[in-house]
Structures are given as C-alpha cells and as structure tokens.
C-alpha cells in the first residue's frame, strides 16, 4: 500500500523504458536488476517476457513505490539523467556526488562500468539519500 512517503516510480516512465525493455531498462528502473540483466542477456526472454511485462508494469511500479521511499531526490529525474547523460555523470551531480560526477565526466562513466554499477544500485542510492534527509 502506498503512503505519502512512497517513491515516485512512474508507470508512465516505466512504459517509456519498456520500449527498450528487451534490454531490461524498465526492470532496472523498477528495482529488479537481476531480471533486468536476464532480459538484457536474452532480449527480453526472447521478446516473450518483454510483451508480458506490458501488463505487469503497473504492479511492478506499485511494488517499487512501496520499496523505495520518496523524498527530495526524484527517482524519475535521476533515472532519466542516467539514461540520457550517464556517461557524463550528470545524475551524480544531481545527487550531490560531485567527485564521482567529475570522475564520470572525465572517464565517460568510468568507461561504462560505472553506468552498469548505477543500473544495479541507483534506486538504493536514491533511497539512502532520501532516508538520510529525514
């Protein structure tokens, strides 16, 4: 059940990421990195899982809202920044992580490995920041 402190994982943004779901992006965004990896390695479970996810996204978004607390940092914005400008560390700057933002900027996301790390941990990073502020 969602409460006022729930996160802002948007089903609409999840559907936008679902368009690229055969690489698992929507699953990473919704806090399911293991199945996101499976989708990436199997092209969305040979596109069958990708199509099934079309119907599962609302439930997964609600689950993400229950698992990750809301707060000052906007999950949607940070994820958009990661997807569009992650290699430049813009999402890290937004989170107030200036040193790692600069490292990402000058190493193109630590040669892509930092981006992979953030795909797996970004929801937890934002949740920790939001918890620390309250």
Q: How many Å apart are CA 86 and CA 101, to the nearest integer?
A: 9
Q: Give the residue-averaged pLDDT of 35-59.
A: 95
Q: How confident is the model at residue 121 (pLDDT cuts 50, 70, 90)?
A: very high
Q: Give the residue-averaged pLDDT of 4-31.
A: 88
Q: Give the residue-averaged pLDDT of 23-40.
A: 96
Taking only the tens place, the pLDDT of each residue in 50-79 is 999 999 999 999 999 999 999 999 999 999
Taking only the tens place, the pLDDT of each residue in 70-116 is 999 999 999 999 999 999 999 999 999 999 999 999 999 999 999 99
* Element containing residue 50 per DSSP (H, E): helix 48-67
Strand partners, 69: 6
pLDDT at residue 1 above 70?
no
pLDDT at residue 35 above 60?
yes
Distance from chain centroid for Cα 7: 12
The rounded percent of the chain whose pLDDT value lies above 90 is 90
> In this structure, what token pair is assigned to residue 95?
């989170």
Determine the pLDDT at residue 5. Answer: 53
């Amino acid at each position: 059940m969602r409460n006022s402190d729930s996160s802002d994982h948007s089903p609409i943004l999840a559907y936008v990421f679902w368009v690229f779901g055969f690489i698992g992006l929507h699953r990473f965004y919704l806090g399911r990195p293991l199945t996101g990896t499976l989708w990436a390695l199997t092209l969305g479970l040979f596109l069958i899982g990708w199509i099934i996810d079309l119907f599962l996204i609302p439930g997964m978004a609600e689950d993400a809202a229950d698992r990750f607390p809301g707060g000052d940092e906007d999950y949607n914005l940070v994820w958009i920044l990661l997807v569009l400008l992650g290699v430049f560390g813009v999402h890290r700057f937004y989170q107030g992580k200036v040193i790692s933002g600069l490292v990402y900027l000058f190493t193109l996301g630590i040669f892509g490995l930092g981006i992979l790390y953030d795909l797996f941990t970004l929801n937890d990073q934002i949740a920790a920041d939001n918890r620390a502020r309250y």
